[in-house]
Copies of this chain bind each other. A is one copy, B any other.
Amino acid sequence: MSAAARDLPSGGPLAPTLDELRAAVDVAAGRRPADLRLTGARLLNVFTGEVEAVDVDVAGRLVAAVTPAGAGGAPDAADEIDLAGAHLAPGLIDGHLHVESSLVTPAAYARAVLPRGVVGGINDPHEIANVAGLEGVRWWLAFAGDLPFDLWTAAPSCVPSTALETAGAELGVGEIDELLAHPRVVGVAELMSFPDVVAGDFEQLAKVAVAEHVGKTTEGHAPGLGGRALQAYLAAGIGSDHESTSLEEGREKLAAGAFLMVREGSVTRDLDALLPLVTPRHADRIGFVTDDRLPHDLLAEGAVDVLVRRAIAAGVDPVYAVRCASWNTALHYRLPRRGAVAPGYFADLLVIDDLRAFRVARVLRHGRWVAEGGRLTEAAERALADAAAAAERRPEAAGLRSSVRLPDLGDGTLRMAAPEAGRRVRVLRPLPGQVVTEATTAVPKVVAGEVVADPERDLLKVACVHRHGRPAPGTGVGLGLVQGLGLRRGALASSVGHDHHNLMLVGADDDAMRRAALRVAELGGGFVVDDGERVVAELALPIAGLVTAAPLEEVVVDLDALDAAVRALGGSGSDAFMTLSFLGLAVIPALRVTDHGLVDVVAARLVPLAV
């Protein structure tokens, strides 16, 4: 070859080098022994829809050749494994997820899902972006670079979510454009600001345009949108949607050209409703995603493998079910050499010993075994630990570990002045199992000219405390009343508060609220339960106040302790923390509390306590 060619880029950091390509070609051609040969496999071929009896030769990180079983014609491999008729499938890719929802780092997330056959996913680090902006997203990206797991990233598009809150950072079109240059960034993440898009807002259209300019996608988020509004949203150039909850909604979006992501999260579970659309007739247009999965569900049920398993159980052709969590997603996002078991593709594949149950026996990732029998291999454990340690040493790490910076919570800051006697005040009422809240009213209990909690009527005080150390209106504390959490005493505090991730507080007395808040600050973030006298349970989330580096199993133990502590106070359990985290979500109706104060979401403005 010419010197010029040798100096040319070799596919970028995510593509094979010329030497790797040559090795794969040599192995395929039979001139060089494979590093690994898998014989007697039944391959789920995502290109033909067939199951084929094959042998697979692996060269380094790549699949070199897929040949008819027993065809031979190449030298003995360095390592050969007879799969004895087990099925083989490409590694699974989750089309849309928020790792932060699992409360752990990408390393801990990968640790939990690799043994299930999930080798990558498209992560929207929307939460960490709201806390730590570009810095946070960059840390996530750099961190993920070392993982034996493909954590692709979509650039968070709506930071902050609204002007009625103070998030930890802002990401404008310029910052999004900057992120799009990173090879692991596949596009712009779900444009949740769908009313603005439908209204033709230039800022939103510019986000689509900058992605298109570099040949990347813009993902959608349009819950319940249909008719001309859906057409307007997609006309902007948005390529997907993962918010369909009914068959009709899914069908309309599919027909309108959206890549239809079928979601099975922890809270929102859409597979059953959308199942009739999951058919080979819809070819490349369907992808499987989890969006948000909570720690317990990840451990007990799984991640995007859940969709494959449940789709197969419901009668979907297994090859197509796998395709929806591999090739279709790789194609939609243009992931290079991923999503299939074929020559030239990265050797990410699953040995499946029971296809009906989709039981994954072994997982090969980039040519190395990362899991066997549901457990990580030692090499994979080491690689994950190394990646986590390297992440800790990065310069961004310190800032992320000191993200909870509270204002003074001394006398008066949690105080709500009473309105004139008998006047009703606004009350947030979360609906069980839903993210929307009702706005109701009540005549409050008043003590010494101050509105106080009244646990007898299940009326608690709720506060949103600015925790990012940025200029926030007034004292940085928004206050209100909430009904439905059931606490008889004590308080809960959380540094997870969608989407701004200010400190969310609820309680029966101010002292307990203050104690819980300060304990969260001491932990650098987390969930805390105070029983009215002292802190009785906690989960530290010291990274950006959102996640921990601990393994998922430990998180679940702490969550169980929190659950018991909340129940002892009269609440429903640890799901109270999820409810609490959504009480500040000022983009979903009806009444919310942010660090700016009480927000009437439908009117899109601040409102006073008194009606």
Contacts and interface: CB of A to CB of B under 8 A. Distances in A.
A18 B209 contact: yes
B73 A344 contact: no
Contact of A22 (B202, B234, B284): B202
A93 interface: no
Nearest to A260: B47
Nearest to A259: B47
Residue from the set A2, A24, A200, A284 with the largest chain B CB neighbour count within 10 Å: A200
B342 A29 contact: no
Interface string A251-293: 1001111000000000000000000000011111100000000
Contacts of A281: 48-49, 280
Interface stretch (A62-70, A144-152, A598-606): A62-70
Interface string A30-46: 11000000000000010
Interface in A222-253: 227-229, 231-238, 251
Q: How many copies make up the complex?
A: 2
A101 B231 CA distance: 41
B254 A11 contact: no
Nearest to A345: B257
Contacts of A231: 28-29, 64-67, 343
B256 A343 contact: yes
A216 to B, nearest CB: 9
* Interface hub of A66, A210, A235, A256 (most chain B Cβ within 10 A): A235
A5 B172 contact: yes
A336 interface: yes
A16 B172 CA distance: 21
Interface string A517-553: 0000000000000000000000000000000000000
B284 A331 contact: yes
A63 B235 CA distance: 8
Contact of A213 (B6, B9, B27, B236): B9
Contacts of A177: 8
A476 B2 CA distance: 27
Given A1-B201, A254-B48, A212 B64 contact: no
A65 B18 contact: no
A86 interface: no
A74 interface: yes
Interface of A: 1-2, 4-6, 8-12, 15-16, 18, 21-22, 24-31, 45, 47-50, 52, 59, 62-67, 71, 73-74, 172-174, 177, 197-203, 205-206, 208-210, 212-213, 215, 227-229, 231-238, 251, 254-257, 280-285, 331, 334, 336-337, 340, 342-345
Closest 8 CB pairs of A and B: A257-B342, A283-B283, A1-B202, A65-B231, A28-B232, A235-B343, A5-B206, A29-B232
